[in-house]
Structure 1
Amino acid sequence: MSERITKLQRWLDLISYLVGRKIPVTVEEIMENVPAYREKWRTEDETERASVRRMFERDKDELRAFGIPIETTRYRINYGLEEIEGYRLSRRDFYLPYLRLVHEAWPSEKEKPYVLDEVVLTEDEAQAAADALHLASQLPAFPFLREARSAYRKLAFDLGEEALSPTPELYVDRPGAEEVLERLRPLSDALLARKTVWFRYHGIYRGEPTDREVRPYGLVFQRGNWYLVGHDVDRDAIRIFRVGRMEDVEVNRNKPHTPDYEIPPDFRLEDHLGKEAWELGDDEPLVAEVLFRFPRSLWAERNGYGELVEERPDGSAVRAFEVQQVNPFLRWLLSLEGEAEVLSPESLRQELHALAREVLALHAEEAS
């Protein structure tokens, strides 16, 4: 049996023992009742007993890190004369919320799982959740495919087959989708364990790939791509990396149960969501100044595009942008149909004009 399976079985035995106890239990009781600990604990070799005690401490800390709330508590025995330390696992904290559809009848008090919190879903909410899970389970390179399908099946059982979408959707993976999935697995493991990662990265503007050392802060799926948000150690700054441009992802295996870093308390992954395509990337940002003609200037201000640099008497406005991907930025400006003009840098201005000429030539060719 592999060490991984041995540890998993040990964890399950420990959880099973604690969750079945109504009052806290001492470490000695745990040693006697969890099979993986018992044999070494019963020896007279103090080294072996100390070793299995350390094993329990590691297991307890690792389970807590995975969200299993093993509680350490102190209580008195012998009519309050003696205080001892014990451990417990509250069922109320351990189980997931109990889901119930609104149209279902309340279960009897005897049937109702009193230890579980309850989340009430309307049929429309449950239907929306089922649709979302169904779509997520078919996304290209989705790393939680098994979990999404399992949750979908559970909701489908409650909703009934007639409530589910009868039309199957066809999704085609992008080229390289399988490679992206293979990179996501070690990245997500590193994120959960707070371990540093190394990889080679193909930036947009660099001719050669560069080696990166990053502390993962979050993984984001948006606009059809996965991105790693993390602290770039060499650049001492938060950067966003497209997973599809990574190679040779390696996780720090030293001290696997000890985090390499802590995510800053003021870090918010939400601050890095919903960004425009030109804002996603790792290259040093290019600062571009764009003139928006009136009334497009009002639209740009209302939607929070760029930072205001200058307001002009005719109602137009100059706004500054930090651009990390030039092509999406130029395509966006071109879609504004001449109501936005690049003022600087000159190289970006020329690139926009060149792109406009290409589009005009393409339409002229189609018309002929």
Structure 2
Amino acid sequence: MAPIMPPTRLEAMSTTVTPAERLLDLVIALTHTEHRMTKADVRRHVNGYSHAGNDDAFERMFERDKVTLRELGIPLVTLTDDAHGDDIGYRIDLDGYDLPHVDLTPAEIGVLSVAAQVWDGEHLDLPARRALTKLRAVSPAASGELSGHVLRIPPPSATFDPLLSAIADRAVVTFTYRAATSRAASQRRVEPWRLVVRDGAWYVLGHDLVRDAERLFRLTRITGAVRVGAAGSAVHPRSAATDEGAASVDGASGTTSTARVAVRPERAAQVRLRATSVTTGDGRWAGWDLLALPVGDVEDLAGLLAGHTDAVVVLDPPHLRDAVVSRLRAAAALAGPEAPRG
């Protein structure tokens, strides 16, 4: 039998191998083998299969992976040895691969890998992982610059899909929305343009027909179902000069602006991640770092800053500082007087 893959990373067995990792390693092995791999070769050389407790467990694992490969459109070829007809082997026929030529750079593959995390645990999780497996088999490895990078955003909520469909169909949507400050709920009619991530949360950007203005609505504040109107019912075009940073967050106190905060050195890493600029403080704030932050949703940002207590001081704007102080006072009231010791 022709030699198979050299014992590279596929033989570096990890303590825990996910099904997606095992499937990717199987694709790489079957793609690079010069002739074929038998089941014994797969079990011995492909990362993940050695963890099968017995022959039956390995057979079930391998059969599931073969079915998955064929569902992905990957041409898995079965070969038999001329001298030993019962000695069955496998390989992937790249000439029969149904993908067109894929010309992706390592950085682009890395970005796709990170973007697929949006669907982690959601209904598109499996298709996203399978698509990445297929792309990685015929593309260069992901850029090391993005290795281990994790998206700091929540998965899409139940309102995501109907809003996405409405955007594609240019349809008006109707939903009940709870304001951030008053908590009052009201019905809104919106022509949605885009779904965006801002300050670690999902928003829908569109034209609010109730207020006749461009607005951002946070998806977690939409209560109940999103009702989608007829296709083509949305008529307001999005201005080319406007981006999501210029829209007001509906129901939030204040609009998008820039906050200035003083942060103690090497503290408040989550706050630093949102900074658009960092300078060295002087005078009263000598020894501190001065950060500029996009305000966006005041209530959300105030909650983040208050969580860092004495490590962060809000300098501007006043309404953000008041919101943070209010939270700190409420936390102090909940703590109550210190219990006597001894």
Instruction: Name the TM-score class by shorter chain.
Output: 0.3 to 0.5
- In the superposition, the TM-score normalised over structure 1's length comes to 0.43
Q: Higher Cα Rg: structure 1 or 2?
A: 1
Instruction: Report the TM-score, using the length of structure 2 for normalisation.
Output: 0.46
Q: Which has the higher contact order (CA 8 A, sep 6+)?
A: 2
